[in-house]
Amino acid sequence: IRVLAEMNAEIIGEVYLSNLRKIREIFPGELMTIHGPALSQATEVVSHADISVVSNPEQTAALSMASEELGKKQRVLLMVDVGNTREGVMPEDVLPTLTKILSFPGIEFVGLGTSVGCYAGYCAGEKDLHRFLRIARETEKAAGHRFEVLSVGSGTMLLDLIRAGEMPKGITQLRIGAALLVGEKPPTKEPIVPLHQDCFVFRGEILEISRKPSLPAEPTGYDAFGRKVVFENKGERETALLNFGVIDVDIYDLTPKADGVRIIGGTSSYTVCDVTDAVEKLKVGDQLDFRMAYSAMARALSSRYVLQTILDD
């Protein structure tokens, strides 16, 4: 956040209110909740956020009441579903919902938003953005209200349009997170040039190295997390037991930086790697580094069991 502040970022979006409180202490710009507010948290949302996304009149009513109590205007974006099937009103419901939103005191309506990624592996194209713009322009005309903001996320799918010069004119805001932080598109894990993919590195320590059969004793089923792990019979292999597990990080979203190392599986607090083909000879006490994709980064940064260290390069 401090780096973004130094880069003169104007708006930071956040899901969790506990993080908003911390960000407010070090970031001078506007703060935006990018998650629809729970009615029970409306007062806290208005206290810490300048802008909120909503998808129904009930949320707006709760924010309105909190705004009146706190004597503070709350700016809102109405989310529209153009195919992602996550949050947002359907296109035919935009105008009647907006009409209700405009009637609430303490609320300043600033525009529409939509999500074109993140859920169900949905990967939007240019046509979805044109549909969103068409809905916005038709609603502006019908409501007699010009929209200040037309916001679109996820940025990972949208950066390609920007590079290709195909981003439709009229979109005023991109909600970008994973693209900037991990430098790849979460649905496909395709690298985004020229961004780096190793700004976040997960480091674990080897607790044990031994030669073991590549197949566990039968019978096998699902692990404790409901995942069916498939083992390949490669005979005896040299394995390394590391000091972290799936509670700490999404181990299946990690990529070993050391050549010849492969993640086999893990438990709550252990991760098992096949190190038979490791280029460097490994021993107990050695540390292994892993590149982190989005799921791994998100879980690790949220875990109180993971030590976080910022290195100046």
> What CA–CA distance (Å, rounded) separates 157 from 146?
27
- Residues 39-44: what's their mean pLDDT? 97
Q: For residue 269, is pLDDT > 70?
A: yes
pLDDT digits (tens, 9 = 90+) for 273-309: 999 999 999 999 999 999 998 889 999 999 999 999 9
Specify the pairing of strand 30-33 against strand 11-14.
parallel
Q: Which residue has the higher pLDDT, 2 or 158?
A: 2
pLDDT digits (tens, 9 = 90+) for 214-241: 888 776 777 777 887 778 888 999 999 9
Cβ count near 165 (within 10 Å):
6
The pLDDT value given to residue 119: 45
Picking from 162, 203, 159, the residue whose alpha carbon sits closest to that of residue 184 is 159
> What CA–CA distance (Å, rounded) separates 63 from 157?
31
At 118, the pLDDT band (50, 70, 90 cuts) reads low
The pLDDT value given to residue 187: 64
Question: What percentage of the chain carries pLDDT values higher than 90?
Answer: 66
Sheet architecture: strand order including 262-266: 254-256, 287-292, 201-213, 236-242, 271-274, 262-266
Residue 9 is classified by DSSP as -
Cβ count near 299 (within 10 Å):
19
At 182, the pLDDT band (50, 70, 90 cuts) reads confident
Q: Which residue has the higher pLDDT, 180 or 40?
A: 40
Domain(s) of CATH 2.40.37.10: residues in the chain: 201-302
At 43, the pLDDT band (50, 70, 90 cuts) reads very high
- The topology (CATH level 3) of 2-191 is TIM Barrel (3.20.20)
Residue listed under structure tokens 């069916």: 228
The pLDDT value given to residue 176: 85
- What the block records as the tokens of 62 is 């709760």
The pLDDT value given to residue 29: 92
Task: Check: CB of residue 282 under 8 Å from CB of residue 276.
Answer: no
> What CA–CA distance (Å, rounded) separates 137 from 147?
9
Going by CATH, does the domain composed of 201-302 fall within 3.40.1280.10?
A: no
Residue 304 C-beta-side C-alpha neighbours within 13 Å: 0
Q: Is 283 left (phi over 0), alpha (psi -120 to 50) or beta?
A: beta
Position 144, amino acid: G
Kindly report the pTM of this predicted structure. 0.84
Q: How far is CA 51 from the centre of its chain?
A: 19
- What the block records as the tokens of 135 is 């809905």
Residue 67 C-beta-side C-alpha neighbours within 13 Å: 20
Residue 247 is classified by DSSP as T
Specify the pairing of strand 107-115 against strand 74-79.
parallel
Mean pLDDT of the chain: 90
Picking from 169, 12, 173, the residue whose alpha carbon sits closest to that of residue 79 is 173
User: What does residue 59 show for φ and ψ, rounded to 5 degrees?
Assistant: -65, -45
The pLDDT value given to residue 212: 93
Domain(s) of CATH 3.20.20.10: residues in the chain: 2-191
Q: Which residue has the higher pLDDT, 268 or 182?
A: 268
Specify the pairing of strand 51-54 against strand 30-33.
parallel
Specify the pairing of strand 236-242 against strand 201-213.
antiparallel
The pLDDT value given to residue 104: 98
Picking from 116, 182, 102, the residue whose alpha carbon sits closest to that of residue 147 is 102
- Residues 143-149: what's their mean pLDDT? 93
Q: Which residue has the higher pLDDT, 248 or 215?
A: 248
Q: For residue 56, is pLDDT > 80?
A: yes
- What the block records as the tokens of 187 is 């649905």
> Which of 73-77, 184-188, 198-202 bottoms out in mean pLDDT, i.e. has the lowest?
184-188
Q: Which residue has the higher pLDDT, 234 or 161?
A: 234
Q: For residue 16, is pLDDT > 50?
A: yes
DSSP states of 139-180 as a string?
Answer: HHHHHT---SEEEEE-HHHHHHHHHTT-PPTT--EE--SHHH
The pLDDT value given to residue 186: 65
